Amino acid sequence: MDELIKTFHIDWKLLIAQIINFGIVIAVLGIFAVKPLLKLMKERTATIKKGVDDAQKAEENLQHSEKLKQEKVSKGRKEASEIIEKAEKESESLRQEKIEITKAEAAKVVAQAKEKISTEKQQVSSELKKEMNNLVVMALDKVSDKAIDTKTHKKIIDQAIEEVKNI
């Protein structure tokens, strides 16, 4: 081994001094470089992990929100269709009610018109009878010149009225 040390010109003192210097450099680098770098790397790892967790939570919230939105939209559509259906039913019932009211009013108007026509017909008929009676009396008076007695006269008038009614 001595030969090896002489061949390579190794000086023990210098070698020990270099080992001590190397240790000091490693210690200084460990304290001032590696520890802050490890601390920084841990912080960055934690930040990245927190960002990933937050992104996952945001994705879950987004999916949950989307699900809620879909539920509310479907619920809103269902309620809208129910409202439309109810409005259509109410509209139909109102239409039927209006039709029935209109029919009742029309029937009332027709009944009033029939009653008025019947009343007018009776008035015209009675007036016509009176007029016919007067005409027949006048005609008989002119024709008979008072040759017929009152009873026969009345009988002829009644027969004439009956004939006019049958026409």
Domain boundaries, the chain: 2-166
Is the model's pLDDT at 150 over the cut of 90?
Answer: no
- pLDDT number for residue 140: 67
Q: How far apart are CA 133 and CA 122, in angstroms?
A: 16
Kindly state the average pLDDT of the residues 59-77. 95
Q: Which helix (H) or strand (E) holds 142?
A: helix 35-144
- Contact criterion met (CB below 8 Å) for 157 and 135: no
pLDDT by residue (tens digit) across 2-24? 777 778 777 778 889 999 999 99
- Cα dihedral: 121, 127, 132, 138 (round 10): -170
pTM comes to 0.41
